[in-house]
């Protein structure tokens, strides 16, 4: 696997973070009332990560409002501080004083990534073209996730890696000096892998090229251009080709982070399913590479209206009014998967209550997220009374026709320390007779600390 070496002296790594395994906080979610009023979800996680990273690579002060303050983004902020950037909050604004491209410093200790796969893969890319060595550690869930898909191309650029068995964290990497530009065709669509290579290309002399079989979320391309990097995007032979010109000089920016569509997804599904709901979700980012769930829900019959459409920092944004509607099962086009890959767990909940059969395919990526989300959701929904068949690359769900599911009785749903499984099954609990108990709500804080409070508020 590229320049991966045999694991050696893994005791040099600090212990894998495992605080989330201690003292779990279970909760039973039950139906109470329709979702009404208005709410605003936290800032987009993908854009928040990139705001901090690119702000740290610019010379001067970048100011960010609406930054998601979940544990994942805070892990990114802590890592950038460890490598020389100043990242601090002043009032409602985050201020980032960068070190410039090529200016990252050797961290004094391991970079603790918690549960954040995005932090890990993007930072590995960013550091890969710097002459520093970094140790990456994470919690028990993150430490099961394979890193080979970023290690392979970054090894070709000259970085070297020592991993745990199976290519997982704890992981030590030494960046290349100098890094070599590459042209890399992604074997599977992955915005994280694409972004890791692009970030490595920032400090690499020459042009680094990434070829996508299908388009993935394009926040990195948009934001790199906004910071002043030269990024060329085109299509060749039916594939999307991105070229990053290295030795870039990034200029500081003012960024307003739109609401995260992945967080809004839970409320869109809940309001669609619960009779009497009429909910306005404000300031939702609707980047075309991220908005697949809105279109899929509409295809299922959802009543979702966009109002106050506008552009914020180069990203399309709107308020979404969602009202209860009877949903129908559909055959979900696999081509839509990259634009809603994180939203499939809660889409499965919608399918479990729809009229007829919903078929999903091409979701292999869900097996290597914070958990195997296909298996985890199939097990959890079945325990709640849904009719689910798991296939190699998707789920087939026969909906209840709008009738509440039974809910869970006895043992709680196992969320596998996965925040999206926890939130999806919390929404499922709202459309059951007995409710759904999940084993631990604390992983939710990795991406959506206010989830429970907003959900409770919308139902009062």
Q: Has 192 been labeled as part of a binding site?
A: yes
Q: Has 148 been labeled as part of a binding site?
A: no
Sequential DSSP letters for 209-262? EEEESS----HHHHHHHHTT--EEEEEETTEEEEEEESS------EEEPPBPHH
CA-to-CA dists, residue 182 to 103, 120, 156, 179, 208, angstroms: 22, 21, 7, 9, 5
Q: Has 155 been labeled as part of a binding site?
A: no
Task: Say which of 72, 260, 342, 418 is annotated catalytic.
Answer: 342
Q: Has 40 been labeled as part of a binding site?
A: no
Q: Has 373 been labeled as part of a binding site?
A: yes
Q: Give the Cα separation of 258 and 318 in Å (integer).
A: 9
CA 291, 295, 298, 300 dihedral sign is negative
Tell the residue number behind the tokens 């200790």, with chain if given: 109
Q: Give the Cα separation of 351 and 343 in Å (integer).
A: 12
Q: Has 50 been labeled as part of a binding site?
A: yes
Residues contacting 264, CB < 8 A, separation 6+? 41, 281, 284, 320
Q: What is the DSSP letter of 103?
A: -
Q: Is 372 a catalytic residue?
A: no
Q: Give the Cα separation of 328 and 109 in Å (integer).
A: 52
Q: Has 323 been labeled as part of a binding site?
A: no
Q: Has 46 been labeled as part of a binding site?
A: yes
Q: Has 369 been labeled as part of a binding site?
A: yes
Residue 23 CB-density burial (10 A; 0-12 exposed, 13-18 middle, 19+ buried):
exposed
Q: Has 357 been labeled as part of a binding site?
A: no
Q: Has 230 been labeled as part of a binding site?
A: no
CB 354 within 8 A of CB 426: no
Q: Residue 213 has which token pair?
A: 């079989």
* Binding residue positions for phosphoenolpyruvate: 45, 117, 145, 192, 373, 420
Catalytic site residues? Answer: 342
* Binding residue positions for 3-phosphoshikimate: 45-46, 50, 190, 192, 342, 369
* Binding residue positions: 45-46, 50, 117, 145, 190, 192, 342, 369, 373, 420
């Amino acid at each position: 696997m590229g320049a991966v070496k045999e694991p050696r002296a893994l005791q040099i790594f600090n212990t894998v973070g495992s605080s989330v395994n201690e003292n779990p906080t279970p909760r039973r979610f039950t139906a109470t009332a329709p979702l009404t009023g208005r709410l605003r979800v936290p800032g987009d996680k993908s854009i928040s990560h990139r705001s901090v990273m690119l702000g740290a690579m610019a010379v001067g002060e970048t100011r960010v409002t609406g930054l998601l303050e979940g544990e994942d983004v805070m892990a990114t902020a802590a890592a950038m501080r460890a490598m020389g950037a100043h990242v601090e909050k002043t009032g409602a604004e985050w201020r980032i004083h960068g070190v410039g491209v090529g200016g990252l410093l050797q961290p004094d200790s391991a970079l603790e990534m918690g549960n954040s796969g995005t932090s890990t893969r993007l930072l590995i890319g960013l550091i890969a073209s710097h002459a520093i060595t970094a140790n990456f550690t994470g919690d028990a869930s993150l430490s099961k996730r394979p890193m080979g898909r970023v290690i392979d191309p970054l090894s070709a650029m000259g970085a070297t890696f020592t991993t745990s068995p199976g290519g997982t964290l704890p992981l030590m990497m030494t960046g290349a000096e100098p890094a070599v530009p590459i042209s890399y065709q992604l074997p599977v669509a992955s915005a994280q892998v694409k972004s890791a290579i692009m970030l490595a290309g920032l400090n690499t002399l020459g042009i680094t090229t990434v070829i996508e079989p299908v388009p993935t979320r394009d926040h990195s391309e948009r934001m790199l251009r906004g910071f002043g990097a030269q990024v060329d995007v085109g299509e060749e032979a039916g594939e999307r080709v991105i070229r990053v010109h290295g030795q870039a000089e990034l200029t500081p920016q003012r960024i307003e982070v739109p609401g995260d569509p992945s967080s809004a997804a839970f409320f869109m599904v809940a309001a669609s399913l619960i009779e009497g709901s009429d909910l306005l979700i404000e300031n939702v980012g609707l980047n075309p590479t991220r908005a697949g769930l809105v279109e899929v829900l509409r295809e299922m019959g959802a009543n979702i209206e966009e109002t106050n459409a506008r552009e914020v920092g180069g990203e399309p944004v709107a308020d979404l009014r969602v009202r209860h509607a009877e949903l129908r099962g559909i055959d979900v086009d696999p081509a839509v998967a990259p634009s809603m890959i994180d939203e499939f767990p809660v889409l499965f909940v919608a399918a479990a209550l729809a009229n007829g059969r919903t078929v999903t395919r091409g979701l292999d990526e869900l097996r290597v997220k914070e958990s195997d989300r296909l298996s985890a959701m199939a097990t959890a929904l079945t325990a709640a009374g849904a009719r689910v068949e798991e296939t190699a690359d998707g789920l087939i769900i026969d909906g209840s026709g709008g009738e509440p599911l039974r809910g869970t009785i006895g043992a709680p749903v196992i969320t596998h320390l996965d925040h999206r499984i926890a939130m999806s099954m919390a929404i499922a609990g709202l459309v059951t007779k007995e409710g759904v108990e999940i084993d631990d709500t604390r992983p939710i804080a990795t991406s959506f600390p206010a989830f429970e409070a907003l959900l409770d508020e919308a139902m009062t």
